[in-house]
Amino acid sequence: MAIDFNSQKDPDASAHAAYEVRLEQVFEGPMDLLIHLIKKNEVDIYDIPIALITDQFLAYIDLMKSLNIDLAGDFIVMAATLAQIKSRMLLPVHDGETEEEDPRMEIARPLVAFLQMKTAAESLADRSLLGQHIFTRPQTPERPKPDPGGEMIKVGLIELIDAFQKILERTPKSHRVDLTEDTLSIKDRISQLVDILERKSTISLDELLPDPSGKQEVIITFLAILEMAKLSLISIAQHVQSGIIRLFYQ
């Protein structure tokens, strides 16, 4: 996970800075998001409902922006590609015209190749590395994690965004987001989360934000959780049966 917090000048107010998450290309990108949407909608990769997937992809881009995530150019390029394929699918086919290849293959083939590469990479990552110039650091004992009951799976950025989207839907609609140094501190929020996890060892997102007062509280919590994950202070997992996401103190 690669995250940078950058200060940006507010043209309407001096000495104000906005917190922003910048995702490097080595992290989850547009292909990961497309795969997530295909699995979420339970559709065939060779028979993608392009209008639905395009609309959902654009909705995710808007949501990421609302969470102060600085999108890489690849997301914008993918959005344009999906919109172009969507428009081509809407064009009528006249009698006598040569039937062209399904426009969706333009995205289906790269997706299949991406999945193959990702599977191969995961397989290689599971193999032991041998060699005289490879050194290992002694393992430090991990804090025992309480068993919340049931199977838990690792959570990625997209699943975390899904969870925070549901929380954002519970916030007051008229609340104005003002991410400035005068009103928010990611360090303070991290300190609060550490205090909570020191006492409980684990907590769910619903317990952490049972009744958020506004978008500002949700977004600063989201940024704090990402920073803590980057620093390996926490691990994030999702309960398979209930879908509940939990933070575990490392």
Instruction: Provide the pLDDT confidence category of residue 139 given band limits of 50, 70 and 90.
Output: low
> Would you state the pLDDT for residue 51?
93
* Separation between Cα atoms, residue 51 and residue 48, nearest integer Å: 9
Mean pLDDT, range 152-156, rounded to an integer? 82
Q: Exposure string (b/e) for 154-182, b if CB count within 10 Å is 16 or more? A: ebebbbbbbbbeebbeebeeeeebebeee
Q: How confident is the model at residue 126 (pLDDT cuts 50, 70, 90)?
A: low
**pLDDT level of residue 132 (50, 70, 90 thresholds):** very low
Task: Tell me if 33 sits within 8 A of 156, measured CB to CB.
Answer: no
Task: Give me the sign of the Cα torsion angle 29, 31, 33, 39.
Answer: negative
Q: What is the pLDDT of residues 175-230, one digit of tens each?
A: 555 555 456 678 899 999 999 999 999 999 989 888 876 888 888 899 899 888 88
HSE toward the beta carbon, residue 28, CA cutoff 13 A? 14
Determine which of 47-51, 97-101, 119-123, 209-213 has the lowest per-residue pLDDT on average: 97-101
pLDDT at 178: 52
Paired with 236 in beta bridges are 247
Q: Is the pLDDT of residue 144 over 80?
A: no
Residue 90 is predicted with a pLDDT of 84
Average pLDDT over all residues of the chain: 76
Report the DSSP beta bridge partners of residue 203.
247
Predicted pLDDT of residue 11: 37
Q: Which residues fall within 8 angstroms of residue 149, CB to CB, at 6 or more apart?
A: none
pTM above 0.75, yes or no: no
**Domain 145-250 in CATH 1.10.10.580:** yes
Contacts of 158 (CB under 8 A, 6+ apart): 28, 32, 33, 36, 60
Q: Which two tokens stand for residue 70?
A: 């600085």
Q: Which residues contact 35 (CB under 8 A, 6 or more apart)?
A: 111, 114, 115
Q: Where in the chain is the domain with CATH 1.10.10.580?
A: 145-250
A 10 A CB-CB count for 33 gives: 21
pLDDT at 8: 39
Q: Name beta bridge partners: 38.
A: none
Residue 137 has a pLDDT of 52
| Percent of the chain clearing pLDDT 70 (strictly above) | 70
